[in-house]
Every structure is written in structure tokens, then in C-alpha cells.
Amino acid sequence: MPSGEPRQAGGSERYLTKISARDLNVFYGEKQALYDVNLDILRNTVTALIGPSGCGKSTFIRCVNRMNDVVVGCRVEGKITLDGDDVYGEEIDVVQLRARIGMVFQKPNPFPKSVYENVAYGPRIHGLASSRAELDEIVMSSLERAGLLAEVKDRLGDSGTSLSGGQQQRLCIARAIAVNPEVILMDEPCSALDPIATAKIEELIETLRRNYTIAIVTHSMQQAARISQRTAFFHLGRVVEVGETAQIFTDPHEPRTRDYVTGRFG
Amino acid sequence: MTELRNPEAEATRGRLRRRYRAERRFRAYGAAAIGVALLALAGLLTSVVLGALPAFWQHEVRLPVHFDRALLDPDGRGAAALPDANYAAVLKQALRERFPEYAGRSEQRQLSALLSMQAPFDVRERLLAEPAKLGRSEELRLLLSDEADLFLKSQDGEGAGAGLSEVQQSVLEAWLAEGRIELVFAWRFLRSGDSREPELAGVWGAVVGSFLTLAITLALSFPVGAAAALYLEEFAAKGRLTDWIEININNLAAVPSIVFGLLGLALFLNLFGLPRSAPLVGGMVLALMTLPTVIIAGRAAIRSVPPSIREAALGVGASPLQVALQHVLPLALPGLLTGTILGMARALGETAPLLMIGMVAFIVDVPRSVSDPATVLPVQIFLWADAPERAFMAKTSAAILVLLGFLVSMNLLAILLRNRFERRW
């Protein structure tokens, strides 16, 4: 399969496109960060974005939920759709968009508030709970789904920043899923964590896939191979190749992809 | 091995020694600098405290006084005559009875001058409280005049009795010998307003004036400063205009304070017609002066809030306003408060701008509201330092002490607030 046009759906009909980027060009001031990116992210799938540092992976996912809006001098051309709606369209409300697309960042960044407040904040500002009991329910189930409840249920009043690094990152995931998003974007969520915490997050991602669409930026090839169904390889602001993870790692079509996944450059 | 590498090891050791020596030298410089600062502070404090102590103590004389009906109620009107009876005459009579040898008019005047101007009023108050005492005698504690007070305070020192005549000195010595003179704590200094009589002058009017003025300053500069800082950092588009505004705010912080006084005079008094000498206007002028400091400190505090917190809040779908008010502001609050209180501490010690709006007036009454005429502590210090009576010297030091106390408690408050709101991330 030629790589100029990214491969779609891997030939299988069980996939459905959730997010689709077409001819995406992104500039930071004069500098262009993404060149003509065409990429589809499929429903209930983990899509891994790999590539060397500065290749535009993070820029791409930050365009999807428009986090780049707050970056001074950032300009986006092209089109990104979420379920067919233009993310940069006139009728899209950024705040609503970000409620539909949750995000987990590289460095765990819990609010300096209690564990409970961290998770309750999103539902509260979006009015998802009409009573305290309902809010409690959302917080508990979010912590449960993030695999954190057992560890923190006796210390919901403690500050979120008092947790360990891995727990903080799972708290951030709980916070993201508490607003019931459709998509979760993860920007190197394990880069600041030890292997045990990483394993827990990876398990979590696997279970989350059933309900959410996940795009994850990672520098670890093993991680991409372990957790993702599809992988996109970015290089110098372009998508070099995208396809089934197994195919990308075992039978890449592009020489650059092969060099990267085999560790010949990085 | 070691012997072979000896020259090199020697050089390494030499370098190490030099490095340690340099560090020791640097530490010594630092310790010396701190020592100088501490010495200066200790010198300042001791001189102020030693100078101020006399102002907190006053001499009183226990004098038997006869509430003579013939003097107080010559027309036989009973209690109705008491409010405006001649109490000075009662005191004069008491003094004459004790010292019959000084019968001359001038001598008698000298005797009366030993007592404070306030003494007749104290007698009146005593009698009004218990009108039944009319016609009887009682031993009263009466405040001595500032000159007599100074004479007694400098008994063992030199220059004693500079302002007292021989008659007055011998009277005081007689009282001392009888043990009638007592040194009491000068509550009056802490409780009353200013006065022309040093023994009556107090600092409370200035304390209340300073408090009201600062309350106005805080009420204006904190919300305005916080809002300006938040807008400039979180919302304003970065560009030429914001740069220009930033430069101007920084310049304003360096403008001499008297200029703000001129502005207040021209704007608040002449244009808006607000009351002269009032804490309201003083507070507004000082708020203008404090505002740049608050904005600069606030912006620094807001900038130091980690961007990851903003991203986290935006990521769960908070609007920019929610991010600013619910996340950035609470985290910037300690820095913002510290900046505000530092600005307030500067405003507390400010005299120049207040002179321009008439807060330098001699005001006896303790202000009741922000539109009453008032004075503030630094202006009070300035006024007393300028007064000719020697007794005001100690009052000046004591007022400085009160001002320092005010300042220290404000800084303590700042530290408490910071610790209370400080959060780690």
C-alpha cells in the first residue's frame, strides 16, 4: 500500500472513523510544525503516535481539542472533524469540544485540591450532576474506572499532589473520564513514571478502549506495540506511515519507518 | 602510583584549597553584611525604644482637695451648679492650703502651672460622678504639667528643671519628700488624640486615622490591582499596546509619592470636591500610589502559576474565565497578598502625598468615619518632631514605636495569610 495517502481502516469494516484530519498544516509563527497531515483515528481503538522528538505528534493531538488556541502565534490550516463536525468550525464551542475530548498530559498535573475535588471539578462545571449524591457517584465510578479507587478511597480529602507520580497520572485520567468524553488524548502519559506505574496505566488504557477512542503519543516503541491497534509514524512534521500496529512494527512499507522502529535513528 | 602522580595531586590539592578558601571568604563577607544590618537595626531600635519609654509614663500628684461649697456653688443651686463651676479655684485653694508660704500672685500662678491644664476637668469629672462629695474633702490624683513631669523624670540627670522656677522646684521636692508623687502608666497616650499640651497628647487619633486610610487603600488597590493583573496576564492580547501599558505601570511604581499627592489635590479635592484632610481622600491617593506595586506583584504571582494547571483546567473543558478565577487566582493569591501588604506597608509610612491633601492639620478629635478630618501616624510624628515643647521629643519616639508596631503586625498578617493560602504543586 502506498504511504502518501494513509491507509484507512486496515481493510476491516469493524472500524469507524472518529476523528479525521485532512490537509492539516500548523504553524508556530513563521515555523511550520505540521505538513499536509492526513490521519484518521478510529472509534474504540488505541492509536499510537510515534516518531522522534519535535516531529509534530503533540502538535497534532493538541490541534484535535484545540489546546493550541492558547498558544500565541499558532495558526491551523486544513480540517479536523469529530464525528463529521468541523472542530474549527464556527458553530463549535471550544469548551464543549474539550468536554467531548479529554486530555492527559505528559507530566501529571492534578489541581492542588483534594482528590475528590480533582475529579469532581469537570462534572461540576459542566453541570453533569444535579445532586451531591450523583456527584459522589460520578467521582467514585471515575476513580474506579481509572483503577485508583482502592488506593485512595480513604484519602479522598487529601491533596491530589500528595499522591505518588503514577497515582497522580491515574487521577488525571479519572479527571478526564469524569466528564464522560468520547475521545481521550494522551500526550506521553507514562514518560514521567516508573515501570510499575507504567504497567498500571497501560492496563488501564486497554480497559478504557472499550468505551473510548484513544490517541496516545509515546516515545516507547514497546509501549506502542503493547497497547495500540493502530500506529502512525510522524517524521519532520509529516505522517510517514499509518496502519495496523503489527504491520508497522513487523512489515513497514516505508524505509524511514523501518529505520525508526528498529532503532536505527531516533 | 601516588608518588608518580605527585605533582599533579599537589596541583589538585592546591586548587581545592583555593576553592575552599574562596568559599570561606565569601561566607565571611555574607556574615559581616548581616552583622552590619543587624547592628544598624539594633541601634535604631534601642535609640527609638529608649527615647520612647519616658512617654509611656507620667507623674501624678496625690493632692487633698476640698470641694468647697463657697467656691463651687456660691449661689446655693446644689448639683445644678456643678457642670460649670470654677474648679480651677478649688485647686488653687488646695495648693494654697498646702503651701501657705507662697502667697504672692505670681507664686500662686507658678503653683497652678505645676498641674496639667487637664486637672480642673478631672476634678469636675470626679465631682459630677459623685455630687454628694460637694462640701467634703478627698485626696485626688492629679496629672502634673509636662514641665513638672520632665523635671521629675530627669531628677538624677543634668539639665533638670530648665523650665521651672525655684518656687516650683521646691514645691515638687516637698511633694517628693512626702511621697505624694507617683509614676503611672500613661494610658492617655494610647487612648487620646493630639493636643497642644504634651502631657495630654495621645497617638490614638493618628492610629485610627492610619487604620481608616489604609482600609480605604486596601479596599481600592487590592481588587483593582488583582483584576488588572489578571486581565493583563490571562486575557489581554500580547502586543504593542500591552507592552506600552506594562512600561507605564513600571514607571508609575517609580514616580515620587508627592506627585500622587498633587494629583489627589487637583482631582479629588478641587475637581470632585471631596473633604479635605479626610482618610477617604488619603486612602484614595495612597491607593493610586500602591496600585502599580500590586499590579506588578500580582502579575509576577500569576506568571508563576505553572502552565500545566491552566492546561489541566482547559483540558477538562473549563472556560478561560473559569481557569482564571478558579485555578490561577487562588494559586496566585499568596503572592498577590504579599505584594499588596508590602505596598500597604509603604503607604503606611507615607507622609508627602498626604501633606498635599491637607492631612497635616492639627486634629484633636479621634476620627469616627472616613470623611472626618484625621491625621495619620507618620504625619503625627512629623508634627510632634516639629513642636517646640521638649516633652514632645519622647512622644515622637513613642509614636515611631507605635508606627513600627503597626508595621510589624501588618507584615505578620502578610506572612500568616501567605502560609494559610500557600499550596504546593
Residue of A nearest to B238 (CA): A72
pLDDT at A69: 83
The Cβ of residue A157 has, within 10 Å, a number of other Cβ atoms equal to: 9
Distance from CA of A251 to the nearest CA of B (A): 36
Distances from the Cα of B151 to the Cαs of A79, B109, B391, in angstroms?
Answer: 93, 18, 10
Distance from CA of A95 to the nearest CA of B (A): 5
Distance from CA of B389 to the nearest CA of A (A): 60
Q: Which of A63, A65, A92, A95 to mutate to test the interface with B (most CBs of B within 10 A)?
A: A95
* Chain B residues whose beta carbon lies within 8 Å of the beta carbon of residue A67: 311, 314-315
The average pLDDT across B323-328 equals 92
Share of chain B above pLDDT 90, in %: 39
pLDDT at A14: 45
The tens digit of pLDDT for each residue in B38-71 reads: 999 999 999 999 989 888 989 999 988 888 888 8
Pairing of strands B137-143, A183-187: unpaired
Q: Using the beta-carbon criterion (under 8 Å), do B308 and A107 form an inter-chain contact?
A: yes
Which regions of B148-223 does DSSP assign to beta strands (E)?
181-185
pLDDT at B109: 87
pLDDT at A8: 45
Contacts of B197 (CB under 8 A, 6+ apart): B116, B117, B118, B145, B146
Q: Using the beta-carbon criterion (under 8 Å), do A109 and B322 form an inter-chain contact?
A: no
pLDDT at B156: 55
Q: Which of A105, A176, A179 sits opposite B308 (nearest CB)?
A: A105
The tens digit of pLDDT for each residue in B106-127 reads: 888 888 888 998 898 988 888 8
User: Residue B54 carries which DSSP code?
Assistant: G
pLDDT at A216: 94
The tens digit of pLDDT for each residue in B250-299 reads: 999 889 999 999 999 999 999 998 888 899 999 999 999 999 999 999 99
Contact with chain A for residue B306, Cβ under 8 A:
yes
* Chain A residues whose beta carbon lies within 8 Å of the beta carbon of residue B329: none
Question: CA B114, CA B112: separation in Å to the nearest integer?
Answer: 5
Distance from CA of A135 to the nearest CA of B (A): 16
Q: Which stretch of DSSP H or E encloses residue A108? A: none
Q: How would you write the pLDDT of chain A (266 residues) with one tens digit per residue?
A: 344 444 444 444 345 889 999 999 999 988 999 999 999 999 999 999 999 988 889 999 999 989 888 888 888 999 999 988 888 988 888 888 998 999 999 889 999 989 999 999 999 999 888 899 999 999 999 998 888 898 898 999 998 889 998 899 999 999 999 998 999 999 988 888 888 888 888 998 998 888 899 999 998 888 999 999 999 999 999 999 999 999 999 999 999 999 888 887 65
Contact with chain B for residue A70, Cβ under 8 A:
yes
pLDDT at A6: 43
The Cβ of residue B187 has, within 10 Å, a number of other Cβ atoms equal to: 11
* Chain B residues whose beta carbon lies within 8 Å of the beta carbon of residue A122: 316-317
Q: Give bridge partners of residue B65 from the DSSP assignment.
A: B138
Q: Using the beta-carbon criterion (under 8 Å), do B319 and A95 form an inter-chain contact?
A: yes
pLDDT at B219: 95
Q: Which stretch of DSSP H or E encloses residue B393? A: helix B391-421
Question: CA A130, CA B86: separation in Å to the nearest integer?
Answer: 78
Dihedral angle of Cα B25, B28, B33, B37, to the nearest 10 degrees: 180
Worst-scoring range by mean pLDDT, B14-23, B71-80, B193-202? B71-80
**Grid coordinates given for B310:** 491552566
Question: Contact, A258 vs A221, CB < 8 A?
Answer: no
Q: Which of A95, A109, A126 sits opposite B308 (nearest CB)?
A: A109
B57 CA to centre of own chain: 18
Question: CA B268, CA B277: separation in Å to the nearest integer?
Answer: 11
Does residue B69 or residue B155 have the better pLDDT?
B69
Q: ipTM of this model? A: 0.84
CB pairs A-B closer than 8 Å? 68
Residue B34 above 60 pLDDT?
A: yes
pLDDT at A261: 87
Q: Which of B238, B312, B317 sits opposite A126 (nearest CB)?
A: B317
The Cβ of residue B142 has, within 10 Å, a number of other Cβ atoms equal to: 21
Residue of A nearest to B235 (CA): A70
Contact with chain B for residue A82, Cβ under 8 A:
no
> Crossing angle of helices A115-126/A165-178, nearest 10°?
20
Q: Which of A70, A103, A111 sits opposite B327 (nearest CB)?
A: A111
* Chain B residues whose beta carbon lies within 8 Å of the beta carbon of residue A102: 315-316
* Chain B residues whose beta carbon lies within 8 Å of the beta carbon of residue A178: 316
Contact with chain A for residue B371, Cβ under 8 A:
no
* Chain A residues whose beta carbon lies within 8 Å of the beta carbon of residue B318: 95, 121, 125
pLDDT at A9: 43
pLDDT at A68: 86
Question: Contact, A217 vs A57, CB < 8 A?
Answer: yes
Q: Give bridge partners of residue A102 from the DSSP assignment.
A: A184
DSSP secondary structure string for all residues of B105-153:
HHHHHHHHHHB-TTHHHHHHHHHHH-GGGTTSEEEEEEEBPHHHHHHHH
Question: Contact, B257 vs B350, CB < 8 A?
Answer: yes
Residue of B nearest to A174 (CA): B316
Residue B161: band (very low, low, confident or very high) from pLDDT cuts 50, 70, 90 = low
Please state the length of chain A.
266
The tens digit of pLDDT for each residue in A232-249 reads: 999 999 999 999 999 999
> Crossing angle of helices B87-98/B105-114, nearest 10°?
110
H-assigned helices in A37-130 = 57-64, 94-100, 115-126
Q: Which of A70, A97, A175 sits opposite B316 (nearest CB)?
A: A175
Q: Using the beta-carbon criterion (under 8 Å), do A107 and B319 form an inter-chain contact?
A: no
* Chain B residues whose beta carbon lies within 8 Å of the beta carbon of residue A179: 316-317
Distance from CA of A162 to the nearest CA of B (A): 9
Q: Using the beta-carbon criterion (under 8 Å), do B315 and A67 form an inter-chain contact?
A: yes
**Grid coordinates given for A20:** 479525521
The tens digit of pLDDT for each residue in A93-140 reads: 888 899 899 999 988 999 998 999 999 999 999 988 889 999 999 999
Q: Using the beta-carbon criterion (under 8 Å), do B317 and A70 form an inter-chain contact?
A: no
Instruction: Choose from A253-262, B29-38, B160-169 the range with maximum mean pLDDT.
Output: B29-38
Q: Using the beta-carbon criterion (under 8 Å), do B311 and A67 form an inter-chain contact?
A: yes
Question: Contact, B226 vs B315, CB < 8 A?
Answer: no
Q: Using the beta-carbon criterion (under 8 Å), do B315 and A111 form an inter-chain contact?
A: no
Distance from CA of A87 to the nearest CA of B (A): 14
Q: Which of A70, A185, A186 to mutate to test the interface with B (most CBs of B within 10 A)?
A: A70
Q: Using the beta-carbon criterion (under 8 Å), do A111 and B312 form an inter-chain contact?
A: yes
Question: CA B399, CA B181: separation in Å to the nearest integer?
Answer: 26
* Chain B residues whose beta carbon lies within 8 Å of the beta carbon of residue A99: 316-317
The average pLDDT across B141-165 equals 76
DSSP secondary structure string for all residues of B266-305:
IIIIIIT-PPTT-HHHHHHHHHHHHHHHHHHHHHHHHHTS
